[in-house]
Chains A and B, each alone.
Chain A
Amino acid sequence: MGAKMVEFNGWDMPVEYPSAGGIIAEHNAVRTGVGIFDVSHMGDIQISGPDSLAAVQHISMNDASKLAIGQAQYSALLYPQGTFVDDVVVHRLGENDYMLVINAGTREKDVSWVRDNCAGFNCAVENLSDDFTQIAIQGPKAENLLQKITPGTDLSSVKSYWFTRGNILCFEKSSRRYLGDILIARTGYTAEDGFEIYVPSDEPTSTSVWNILLEVGKEFGVVPCGLGARNTLRLEGKLPLYGHEISDTINVCEAGLDRFCKMDKPDFIGRSALVHAKDRGLTRTLVGLEMTERGIARDGYRVLDDGGKEVGYVTSGSFAPFLKKNIALAYVPPEFAELGSSLKVEIRNQPVAAKVVPTPFYKRPKKSAS
């Protein structure tokens, strides 16, 4: 495919596909058409058995009891301090059967953390990370593309953050076959409509699914996308990235993810620390910045107040390919978080002006009735 590869947490991952036009072209294909991502580095943990719900409730901050079979939710695993082990998507596979999709960089840590904290429950914890290859199909035309190879499944009936199981048409040269019972979820990490499918990870199978998506996607202008575009897409949508907006030293309130944290559900790890954190009030909060002078804020750059005093730091920053602006996420004290506040980002020793803007930077347009 001519991908530019990069090592990412021990995985050889495509950062961009120059033959597809590079990061900007990939990014904009997802905003206006469709792109596909090899996200095989993502991990999966299955928790099943009589106490599986109680276990999931204990280890994650969202309320898994609200999930119907076939439904998914954004959630997070927390340390007792209310900071992040990882953010996850919890899928309810069956009556007593859940799957957590976890990040690559935190995989080993997550698996042992989940095992340790589920030990008191009557449930089995299984690491399925090596069994599945996750492929994301993202963009306003994702449904049209994926529908081409899922003839038995009506994708239009799969709502956002729901999933189904279906057959995927897979062909190699002259032979055609169906991969049965594939998990097809309407989820993603691009702030766009789209799907994530979990196919068997053996190379012939995952490669042929990838190739068929490229082949049948030609009529929709499908573009293979790398981690570079995945990062700029999620940044425009203010979707957090572990090690940047969330980490083991940042708590849920600071990250602004309270709406996924259900304080009224049964007790969970991190809850009591968050109660205290809420009482104490925030010392820093995540804001969106737009550069108003020339310059691109990058991860780790210092944020200064108008007088040049350091008040915070950038967690992620980039040129935003669809918005065509230089944007960033940063932690600053609440008194600097008001919309319109002017701040500076220190770029190579120069203070460069920025202002606090509403987030997410990008919101996908509402689907028009069709």
Chain B
Amino acid sequence: MSYPGDFKYTKEHEWIKANGTTATIGITSHAQESLGDIVFVELPKVGTEVAKGKTFGSVESVKAVSDLYSPASGTVTEVNADLATAPENINKDAHSAWLIKIALKDPSELRSLLSSEDYEKFVAEEN
């Protein structure tokens, strides 16, 4: 499993990819694998404020509900509407099936997140 080097990661298994002052957020390949078949995704509306470390939605597999934690603070600018009808896209490719895009409040917040190497190490230890 490869974790893109230009993403940053959280210990709650989200990824974030910054592009200037905006960023795209999703869950990791490891997260989708441990969840199993994803059947429902609940996401905030465009314009919602999200805060680093706080929940912004949830993802449900057949078995369980998991909260989504935002890797950074900001305002939601776009929501991946395809996931409402095709949540299984996350199982197919978690690193391209993004959840939301946000306008970053403070891009420096990303510095404290995990790099791909750190995240991979973290996952290996967790197992």
Chain A residues in contact with chain B, CB under 8 A? Answer: 4, 15-16, 18, 22-24, 228, 232, 294-296, 298, 318-319, 321, 326, 348
Contacts and interface: CB of A to CB of B under 8 A. Distances in A.
B84 A15 contact: no
B37 A24 contact: yes
A318 B62 contact: yes
A348 B44 CA distance: 13
A86 to B, nearest CB: 24
Given A228-B62, A232-B62, A294 B39 contact: no
Given A294-B84, A348-B58, A23 B40 contact: no
Interface in B1-52: 33-34, 36-37, 39-40, 42
B36 A16 contact: yes
A23 B63 contact: yes
B84 A22 contact: no
A319 B59 CA distance: 13
Nearest to A291: B40
Contact of B62 (A4, A295, A321, A348): A321
Interface of B: 33-34, 36-37, 39-40, 42, 58, 60-63, 65, 84
Contact of A22 (B36, B40, B65): B36
A18 B42 CA distance: 24
Given A22-B36, A319-B39, A298 B84 contact: no
A16 B35 CA distance: 11
A66 to B, nearest CB: 38
Contacts of A24: 37, 39, 62
A348 B56 CA distance: 12
A294 to B, nearest CB: 7
A259 to B, nearest CB: 30
A318 B63 CA distance: 7
Nearest to A6: B63
Nearest to B57: A348
A22 B39 CA distance: 12
A356 to B, nearest CB: 21
Contacts of A4: 34, 36
Residue of A16, A232, A319 with highest tally of chain B CB at under 10 A: A319
A319 B36 contact: no
A22 B88 CA distance: 12
A207 to B, nearest CB: 25
A18 B63 CA distance: 13
The 4 A-B pairs of least Cβ separation, nearest first, read: A319-B39, A23-B62, A24-B37, A22-B37
A138 B44 CA distance: 41
Contacts of B39: 24, 296, 319
Contacts of B34: 4
Nearest to A321: B62
Contacts of B60: 296, 319
Nearest to B67: A348
B40 A228 contact: no
13 contacts: A4-B34, A18-B33, A18-B36, A22-B36, A23-B37, A23-B61, A23-B62, A24-B62, A228-B36, A228-B63, A294-B40, A298-B65, A321-B62
B32 to A, nearest CB: 11
B114 to A, nearest CB: 24
A298 B39 CA distance: 13
A23 B36 contact: yes
Given A24-B37, A228-B36, A296-B65, 5 more contacts: A4-B34, A15-B63, A23-B37, A24-B39, A228-B62
Contacts of B42: 294-295, 348
A23 B65 CA distance: 15
A15 B65 CA distance: 16
Contacts of B84: 294
Contacts of A294: 40, 42, 84
A18 B35 CA distance: 10
Contacts of B40: 294-296, 319, 326
B1 to A, nearest CB: 13
Contacts of A15: 63
A24 B60 CA distance: 13
Residue of A22, A294, A295, A321 with highest tally of chain B CB at under 10 A: A22
Contacts of B36: 4, 16, 18, 22-23, 228
A15 B35 CA distance: 11
Nearest to A27: B62
A316 to B, nearest CB: 12
A339 to B, nearest CB: 25
Contacts of A295: 40, 42
Contacts of A326: 40
